[in-house]
Chains A and B, each alone.
Chain A
Amino acid sequence: MLKDWFGKSKYVTVKKGEKEDTKEPEDKREEKQKQKEDDQLWTKCKECEEIIFNKKLAQNLMVCPKCGYHFRLTALDRLSITVDENSFEEFAEDVDTGDPLDFPGYQDKLEKAKRENTINEAVITGEAAIEEYPIVIAVMDFYFMGGSMGSAVGEKITRAVEKSHTSEKPLVIFSTAGGARMQEGMLSLMQMAKTSAAVRRLHEKGILFISVLTDPTSGGVTASYASLGDIILAEQGALIAFAGPRVIKQTISKKLPEGFQRAEFLLEHGMVDRVVERKNIRDNLASILKIHRTGEEF
């Protein structure tokens, strides 16, 4: 079972270069260095500061056993706990990133991200099955340049939508994104239009699209396909936003309310169908697929 692999995967320690592309401050470098040495054995929970042995954390699907904090997953780990064993067949793996704007430093950052991650871009796409229900699946990866959507990510997502359209298999997209791939300028922004237009055709054909929002999903991804699912699930505690909290704080110069832009906040305001714990997402998807199929055959 794929689940058995979880946590034994070839994880790489988060390195500096990767974080530069997220919109987060970098004031914890020293702490990072110190932590690196202990990395192999234990992890400190970001939320409750509990020291958790890595083995235990992995067994618990990277969720803090004490407070329930959901650590961010790589796309491969997400896949491994979501789809049936041996069911994943990747497509669009040959779609790679160019440097259309000749943007200063982009090539280096890309190379670094490729070196540090098992995958080649911030999303993987393929056909798979959940409890034997066939699906098309795309999983984004925050560890690859902050999950930012450039041309290649937009192209792969669009191909996933198109694959779902032609194969008539339901589409499941796990989103996570820190924002636009700024190094691709307007071509990056246009991926919002491209993917949304493709999703419209999917809806028109009557194909199910389940969007799963994971921590964090923000910017152009939220303002395009991630918000266009027939059903939108949000992983517990996930930050889901159009504008990130830092930008909003800067704009309004006020303290943000408790729990603002968290999955539970979105549920309260009617923006998502369900908030789901990590361990229940696969079952939730299976249930939806099962009921959906029954409806078709009725």
Chain B
Amino acid sequence: MDENKLLDFEKPLLELNKKIEELESFMKEKNIDLSSEIKRLEKRAENVREEIYNNLEPWQILKIARHPERPLTLDYIDQITDEFIEFKGDRRFGNDQALVGGIGLIEDIPVTILGHQKGKDTKVNINRNFGMAHPEGYRKAMRLMRQAEKFGRPVVNLINTPGAYPGIGAEKRGQAEAIATNLMEMSGLKTPIIVIITGEGGSGGALGIGLGDRIMMMEFSYYSVSSPEACAAILWKNSDQAEEAAAALKLTAPDLMELGVIDKIIPEPAGGAHKDQKKAAEILKSEIITAVKELSELSEEQMLEQRYSKFRDMGEHIIKPDQGKIRENLIDEDRKEDDQSLKRENIQSK
């Protein structure tokens, strides 16, 4: 096992793995049967891994979600489809390499699949802009989703992005408008939308293709309103508190299940999807097929109604009947008391 690819909290495994390797080579060299001893150690390593992975802190889950070996959108597409053909461009400005899409067959079901695409090495990552899409990416996604609607294909969106790209071109071309339009249109798209957060679910950039009938998260993915690093920097002026922020933000799949943000957690192979990509893709595939089948039982009207109320109900507020209304005369009374002081912003930095 490559020790560099281990996450820091996996270090207890390192010792065991070394020992196993030693025994294996010793066995070969001396031609002694040590297989029962090796098996025993392997069993122990498995237990240790299970122990570690059953007790992960949110911050550790975030690290797995960001793991450089973690399967990417195109890896999953490759594994879950029998055939796939990519379509490019938003017909407006360009083709965004950070958000890919196309049509394919999952078993015998034709689907439109979209997803953020990162790279596994720096060069590819730069081409893919680290999975951070521009407006043209979101517009391409919308174009392909409308196409799916026209032909009655279910849409499968695989989310894995640190966020929408914050840059000059992105702002100039209307990043906000692109995401807003997607949200509005997706809420009424007349074909099933299945959303899976496979790795990083970074804020508005994730949500930009994240509104649908089924929202699922892979076990070691995260979905957050802000990166914990940014959250800590903004709220506590200290990015070193990112670990704390990761816990406070409730960004893990179980937390979001409890908050009613997602519908399902998709289990991953032991040690994370990157440890057994094929198995991870198999589980994902069967969840997609199940969701498509469930949704196909609904009438279009039922589906759209359920989609609407799912998001209509999100959030938690309280009702305080005694808060009192703002009335002009009330404001007037207040103003009489204190008509001198002006609310001021001159002292606030721009």
Contact = CB atoms under 8 A, between A and B. Distances in A.
Interface of A: 2, 5, 7-14, 19-21, 23-28, 31-32, 35-36, 39-40, 43-46, 54, 57-58, 71-72, 74, 76-77, 80, 85-86, 88, 90, 93-98, 100-101, 103-105, 118-120, 124, 126, 143, 150-152, 154-155, 158, 179-180, 182-194, 196-201, 203-204, 219-220, 222-228, 241-243, 247-248, 251-252, 254, 256-257, 260-261, 265, 269-271
B79 interface: no
B264 to A, nearest CB: 16
A223 B343 contact: no
A33 to B, nearest CB: 9
Given A193-B311, A241-B176, A186 B317 contact: no
A187 B168 contact: no
A193 B314 contact: yes
A182 B249 contact: yes
Given A27-B349, A223-B180, A247 B225 contact: no
Interface string B306-339: 0110011011111111011111100110110111
Contacts, number: 285
Interface in B222-245: 223-226, 230-231, 234-235, 237, 244
- 7 smallest beta-carbon distances between A and B, as pairs: A243-B166, A151-B315, A11-B343, A197-B187, A196-B183, A100-B316, A222-B176
Contacts of A58: 342
B343 A14 contact: yes
B311 A197 contact: yes
Given A193-B311, A228-B181, A182 B317 contact: no
Interface centre among B171, B210, B226 (most CB of A within 10 A): B171
Contacts of B339: 8
B346 A71 contact: yes
A23 B234 contact: yes
B345 A76 contact: no
A152 B317 contact: yes
A68 to B, nearest CB: 15
Nearest to B135: A242
B211 A5 contact: no
Given A190-B261, A242-B175, A260-B168, A9 B335 contact: yes
Contact of A243 (B171, B321, B345): B171
B180 to A, nearest CB: 4
Given A155-B315, A189-B207, 10 more contacts: A25-B349, A43-B344, A98-B317, A182-B226, A182-B234, A187-B315, A190-B207, A191-B315, A197-B188, A223-B204
Interface in B258-310: 259, 261, 307-308
Contacts of B334: 9-10, 118
Contacts of B248: 101, 103-104, 185
B302 to A, nearest CB: 16
A27 B348 CA distance: 9
Given A8-B339, A243-B175, A14 B187 contact: no
Contacts of B342: 7, 11, 39, 43, 54, 57-58
B176 A223 contact: yes
A251 B227 CA distance: 14
Contacts of B250: 101, 185-186
A14 B311 contact: no
B317 A72 contact: no
How many of chain B's residues touch chain A, expressed as a range? 35 or more
B328 A2 contact: yes
A269 B169 CA distance: 11
B183 A192 contact: yes
A50 to B, nearest CB: 10
B350 A46 contact: yes
A261 B172 CA distance: 8
Given A186-B250, A187-B261, A187-B316, A19 B348 contact: yes
Given A10-B334, A14-B348, A19-B348, A260 B180 contact: no
A257 to B, nearest CB: 7
Contact of B180 (A228, A261, A269): A228
B342 to A, nearest CB: 5
Given A40-B340, A98-B318, A187-B316, A247 B234 contact: no
A237 to B, nearest CB: 11
B174 interface: yes
A198 B175 CA distance: 21
A223 B175 contact: yes
Contact of A193 (B187, B319, B348): B187
B193 to A, nearest CB: 12
Given A43-B344, A220-B204, A197 B331 contact: no
B251 interface: yes
Contact of A248 (B171, B231, B316, B337): B171
A36 to B, nearest CB: 8
A155 B204 contact: no
Contact of B174 (A7, A193, A269): A269
B225 A193 contact: no
A201 B324 CA distance: 30
Given A182-B225, A194-B314, A101 B331 contact: no
